[in-house]
Amino acid sequence: MKSGIMKAKVMFKEISYSSVSENFIDLVAKQWMLITAGANGSSNCMTASWGGFGYLWNAPVAYIFIRPQRYTYSFVDSNPFFTLSFFDRKYRDILTFCGTKSGRDFDKIKETGLKPYITSRGNVIYEQAKLAMECKKIYFSDIDPDMFLDSLIRRNYPESDYHRMYIGKIVAFYQKNP
């Protein structure tokens, strides 16, 4: 007789960056992403729509920009990894919440219904995500206003809260299994 035990469905499969069919600029600029750092139960996430992807120092990389007043800043700063999670349009309310409320005041997981999914490295992505990336920090630098070559960029910093840029080596791409 066959066993009645069902094997748990694997929620995400690891893929190569060449298999990502989405437009990377579109992903960040229009679809937005959640940046998360910290271990399950002590992580924080925030929405971001500035950042990018490329190939640097012989590795696929992601670079993100976080203003110092964000609660997420201390999590990304003090952890070796951060993750980037991307969602279908139907989850836009969650991204809006995580991009307008601070983890200092709200438990974003509880408030939004985001379901943490823990990677084998112990990092947090979300069951609702369609695509996620796990990044190991390899470099950071603070935006230096003396280096702006276009003075219009200053308009983004009326409070002089210059972003810290983090470059992460992408160690895994996770795609939701259909």
Ligand X SMILES: Cc1cc2nc3c(=O)[nH]c(=O)nc-3n(C[C@H](O)[C@H](O)[C@H](O)COP(=O)(O)O)c2cc1C
Residues of the shown chain interacting with ligand X in the complex, contacts defined by CB under 6 A: 32, 44, 46-50, 65-67, 70-72, 99-104
CB of 169 to ligand X, least distance (A): 19
**Unique residue bearing structure tokens 């009326």:** 158
Beta bridge partner(s), residue 170 = 135
Helix, strand or coil, per DSSP, at residue 51: strand
Q: Which is nearer to ligand X, 102 or 175 (CB)?
A: 102
Cβ-contact 15, 177 below 8 angstroms: no
Check residue 85 and report its DSSP letter.
E
Residue nearest to ligand X (CB): 99
Alpha helices for 61-144 (secondary structure H):
71-78, 92-98, 108-112
Q: Which is nearer to ligand X, 13 or 142 (CB)?
A: 142
| Closest distance to ligand X from the beta carbon of 13 (Å) | 28
Minimum CB–partner distance for residue 149 and ligand X (Å)? 21
**Is 178 exposed, middle or buried (CB count within 10 Å of its CB: 0-12, 13-18, 19+)?**
exposed
Between 103 and 168, CB nearer to ligand X: 103
Query: CB of 90: closest distance to ligand X in angstroms?
Result: 16
Judged by CB, which is closer to ligand X: 14, or 106?
A: 106
Contacts of 7 (CB under 8 A, 6+ apart): none
